A and B are shown apart, each in its own frame.
Chain A
Amino acid sequence: MIMGIDRGAVAVWRRNADVFFKTWRTNFLPSVFEPLLYLVAMGLGFGGLVAGLTYAGQPIEYIRFLAPGLISISAMYGGFFECTYGSFVRMHYQKTFDAIVATPVSLEDVIVGEIMWGASKSFINSTIVLTVITLMGWFLFPAIQFTSLTILLVPPLTFMAGLMFASIAMIFTALVPNIDSFNYPFFLLITPMFLFGGTFFPISQLGAAEPLAYILPLTHTSLLIRDMSLGLLGPIDGLAMIYVIIMTIAATYLAVRMMKKRLTK
Chain B
Amino acid sequence: MAPVVVARDLVKRYEDLTAVDRISFDINQGEIFGFLGPNGAGKSTAIRMIQCVSPVTSGKLEVLGMDVRERPREIKARLGVAPQDNNLDPDFNVIQNLTSYARYFGIPKAQAARRAEELLEFMQLSEKRDVMIENLSGGMKRRLIVARALINDPDLIILDEPTTGLDPQARHLIWERVRQLKREGRTIILTTHYMDEAEQLCDRLVIMERGKFLVEGEPKRLIADVVGDCVMEVIETDGDEAERYLRSLGQQVERSADRLYVYSKDCRTINQEFRRLHPEIYSVIRPATLEDVFLRLTGRRLKE
Contact = CB atoms under 8 A, between A and B. Distances in A.
Contact of A104 (B48, B76, B90): B76
**For the side of the interface on A, what is the size category?**
20 to 34
B81 interface: yes
Given A264-B54, A264-B55, A265-B54, A103 B101 contact: yes
Contacts of A262: none
Interface string A79-121: 0000000000000001110111111111000000000000000
Nearest to B73: A104
Contacts of B106: 7, 11, 104
Contacts of A94: 87, 89-91
A43 B14 CA distance: 58
A98 B87 contact: yes
A102 B79 CA distance: 8
B87 A101 contact: no
B157 to A, nearest CB: 12
B73 A101 contact: no
A18 interface: yes
Contacts of A102: 51, 53, 76, 79, 81, 83
Given A8-B104, A18-B100, A19-B92, A103 B87 contact: no
Nearest to A263: B53
Interface in A235-265: 264-265
Given A100-B104, A104-B77, A95 B85 contact: yes
A8 B72 CA distance: 14
A15 B51 contact: no
B92 A14 contact: no
B91 A19 contact: yes
B105 interface: yes
Contact of A99 (B72, B89, B105): B89
Contacts of B92: 18-19
Interface string A9-25: 00110110011001000
A98 B55 contact: no
Nearest to B99: A18
A101 B51 CA distance: 10
Contacts of B205: none
A105 B103 CA distance: 10
Contacts of B116: none
A155 B275 CA distance: 89
A94 B89 CA distance: 7
B292 to A, nearest CB: 34
Contacts of A8: 104
Contacts of B89: 15, 94, 96, 99
B88 interface: yes
A98 B85 contact: yes
A19 to B, nearest CB: 4
B104 A104 contact: yes
Interface string B120-157: 00000000000000000000000000000000100000
Given A7-B106, A19-B92, A104-B106, A99 B76 contact: no
Contacts of B55: 264
A199 B60 CA distance: 57
A95 B87 contact: yes
Contacts of A101: 53
A22 B72 CA distance: 33
Interface string B50-94: 010111000000000000000011101101010101111111100
A103 B83 contact: no
A245 to B, nearest CB: 29
Nearest to B93: A22
B70 to A, nearest CB: 13
Contacts of B72: 106
A96 B97 CA distance: 11
Interface of B: 14, 48, 51, 53-55, 72-74, 76-77, 79, 81, 83, 85-92, 96, 100-101, 103-106, 152
24 contacts: A7-B106, A15-B103, A18-B96, A19-B92, A94-B87, A94-B91, A95-B85, A96-B87, A98-B83, A98-B85, A100-B104, A102-B51, A102-B76, A102-B79, A103-B101, A104-B73, A104-B76, A104-B105, A104-B106, A105-B104, A106-B72, A265-B14, A265-B48, A265-B54
Q: Which 9 A-B pairs have the closest CB atoms?
A: A95-B87, A103-B104, A99-B87, A19-B91, A102-B81, A104-B77, A11-B103, A104-B73, A105-B104
Interface of A: 7-8, 11-12, 14-15, 18-19, 22, 94-96, 98-106, 264-265
Given A7-B106, A95-B87, A265-B54, 11 more contacts: A8-B104, A15-B100, A18-B96, A22-B91, A94-B89, A95-B85, A100-B104, A102-B79, A102-B81, A104-B73, A104-B106
